[in-house]
Amino acid sequence: MKQILWFRRDLRIRDNKILEKASNEVMPIFIFDKNILEKLDMDDKRVTFIYDAVISLKKSLQALGLDLYIFYDTPKNVFTELKKLDFDEVLCSSDFDSYSIKRDKDISKILPLKRYLDSFLINPRKNLKKDGTPYKVFTPFYKSLFWLSSSYQIGESTTNSKLKLYKYKSKTPTLEELGFKSVELPEFLKKTAENRLDDFKEKVEEYENNRDIFYKEGTSNLGVDLRFGTLSARIIFNEIRKLDKKNSEVFIRQLFWREFYNYILFHFPKSEQENWNGIEVKWNEDEEDFKRWCEGKTGVVLIDAAMRHFNKTGMMHNRLRMIVSSFLSKNLLIDWKKGEQYFAKKLLDYEASSNIGSWQWAASTGADSVPYFRIFNPYLQSVKFDKEAIFIKSVIPELKEVNPKLMHIEGALKDKYLKPMVDIKYSRQRAINVFKEAKNARV
């Protein structure tokens, strides 16, 4: 038996299904997929992170007497060549977005493909309602998984210690040979995945209180690890659960929102490109409005600070994601899909299902989304979660000497800052009218 171990979103040794299920002679590989990379900017931060993680994985495998052979090509070309070496099958983790499903279908025509659930806690094909249909609302979905969410520990995979390496001559491409340049990553990503998890374990007790405060490091900072599998969801669940600390349940519930969005996208794949609830909104098509939102030049300081920080770092606080997406889809009435695609291009922890689900939630077009009349007021949000404008001033230096109180009052900055694009009260009512019309038209 000769197997190819195809690492994808599982860039780790601990709790890796394919290292457990593998037997005999194996060839571990990673493919820098040209189909994906050719669409990215040369300074895309995610490529720097992934490249570093892949090299680290290679070293970890070498410590086990194995190795990692790294390719830069399309998966189809790679497996067409490897098939000539008489491999019996390919082992990999399951992935559920549209590109991955099509890719795996094509590869399975070249070599038998065995996939294992490793990027998520549940298989979206399972856990249906009694009538055989998928859940559409989070709370019943979450309650149906009580057997899992309440577990003290979820079993992790172990590594088969009897694996033999199939030796293959190959040269590891440099980042430059992939067409990218090394870029500076946020400071926390310079630590190991395990250290990031340890850091969060120290903050769990204050998670519920601090996670919404923009200037505090109150969130988990584990989104990138979940996305690329430098940590598994099982590892994170187990490590947080065994702390048995206050607020650990609050965080675990967030892990299951990630599961829910993956579940929804799997069962309703059209939601990647369409409003999940089927309403037809008369969106604002003004490209200049969208550009100003992207560049952080809306004149609403919290929105601008969030977007400028995002453009610089590839990171955005979860509550800020809700606020800027509400502002785009409601106050500016711009199609959520434009915002989702912009995030997809820059977000370090971009995951299709979570990003699409979150954007549709904010736009009141998705599964279990916010009611269309609930629209975040950015001024009320900033005074509540950044009263002294610490985050805002850290991003917009020209406001450093301005009284923080002025930043939380619409129109108070006057000649000190850009004029706001829209009046919040007016744009809120406009959005309510437009969404109400769209909803009524569908009835």
pLDDT tens per residue across span 167-179: 999 999 999 999 9
**Do 140 and 259 share a domain, yes or no?**
yes
Q: How far is CA 124 from CA 7, 355, 388, 419, in A?
A: 21, 17, 43, 46
Does residue 186 form part of some domain? no
Q: What is the DSSP string of 101-170?
A: HHHHHHHHTTS-EEEE--SSSS-TTS---TTSPPP-SHHHHHHHTHHHHT-S-PPPP---TT-EEPP---
pLDDT tens per residue across span 3-55: 999 999 999 999 999 999 999 999 999 999 999 999 999 999 999 999 999 99
Does residue 228 form part of some domain? yes
**Do 292 and 435 share a domain, yes or no?**
yes
**Do 404 and 360 share a domain, yes or no?**
yes
pLDDT at residue 198 in the model:
96
The pLDDT confidence band at residue 83, using thresholds 50, 70 and 90, is: very high
Q: Which residue has the tokens 């809700």?
A: 322
Task: Give the mean model confidence (pLDDT) for residues 283-307.
Answer: 98
pTM equals 0.94
Does residue 179 form part of some domain? no
**Do 17 and 105 share a domain, yes or no?**
yes
pLDDT tens per residue across span 131-169: 999 999 999 999 999 999 999 999 999 999 999 999 999
| Alpha carbon 276 to its chain's center | 19
Task: Give the mean model confidence (pLDDT) for residues 103-109.
Answer: 97
**Do 339 and 422 share a domain, yes or no?**
yes
**Do 10 and 37 share a domain, yes or no?**
yes
In this model, does residue 443 exceed pLDDT 70? no
Query: Helix (H, G, I), strand (E, B), or coil: what is residue 308?
Result: helix
The pLDDT confidence band at residue 411, using thresholds 50, 70 and 90, is: very high
pLDDT at residue 335 in the model:
98
The residue range of the domain holding 393 is 287-442
Does residue 162 form part of some domain? no
pLDDT at residue 248 in the model:
87
Structural domains of the chain, count: 3
**Do 99 and 135 share a domain, yes or no?**
no
In this model, does residue 211 exceed pLDDT 80? yes
pLDDT at residue 97 in the model:
86
Report percent pLDDT > 90 for the chain: 94
Q: Helix, strand, coil: what percent of the chain each, to 5? A: 50, 5, 45
Domain boundary among 267, 295, 326: 267
pLDDT at residue 131 in the model:
96
| Contact (CB, 8 A) for 334 and 354 | no
Instruction: Classify residue 261 as exposed, middle or buried by CB count within 10 Å of its CB (0-12, 13-18, 19+).
Output: buried
| Contact (CB, 8 A) for 301 and 406 | no
Does residue 355 form part of some domain? yes
Range of lowest pLDDT (132-136, 183-187, 325-329) = 183-187
Domain boundary among 238, 267, 296: 267
The pLDDT confidence band at residue 272, using thresholds 50, 70 and 90, is: very high
In this model, does residue 244 exceed pLDDT 80? no
Average pLDDT of the chain to the nearest whole number: 95
**Do 148 and 256 share a domain, yes or no?**
yes
Task: Give the mean model confidence (pLDDT) for residues 413-426.
Answer: 95
Does residue 99 form part of some domain? yes
Does residue 278 form part of some domain? no
**Do 326 and 378 share a domain, yes or no?**
yes
Query: Helix (H, G, I), strand (E, B), or coil: what is residue 29?
Result: strand
pLDDT tens per residue across span 298-310: 999 999 999 999 9
pLDDT at residue 217 in the model:
87
Residue of 12, 32, 33, 45 whose CA lies nearest to 346: 45
**Do 106 and 27 share a domain, yes or no?**
yes
**Do 61 and 136 share a domain, yes or no?**
no
The pLDDT confidence band at residue 247, using thresholds 50, 70 and 90, is: confident
Domain boundary among 267, 297, 313: 267
Q: What is the CATH number of the domain that holds 130?
A: 1.25.40.80
pLDDT at residue 440 in the model:
86
Does residue 178 form part of some domain? no
In this model, does residue 192 exceed pLDDT 60? yes
| Alpha carbon 139 to its chain's center | 21
Q: What is the CATH number of the domain that holds 375?
A: 1.10.579.10
**Do 437 and 348 share a domain, yes or no?**
yes
Q: What is the CATH number of the domain that holds 75?
A: 3.40.50.620
Residue of 34, 66, 242 whose CA lies nearest to 165: 66
Angle, CA of 273, 276 and 293, to the nearest 5°: 60
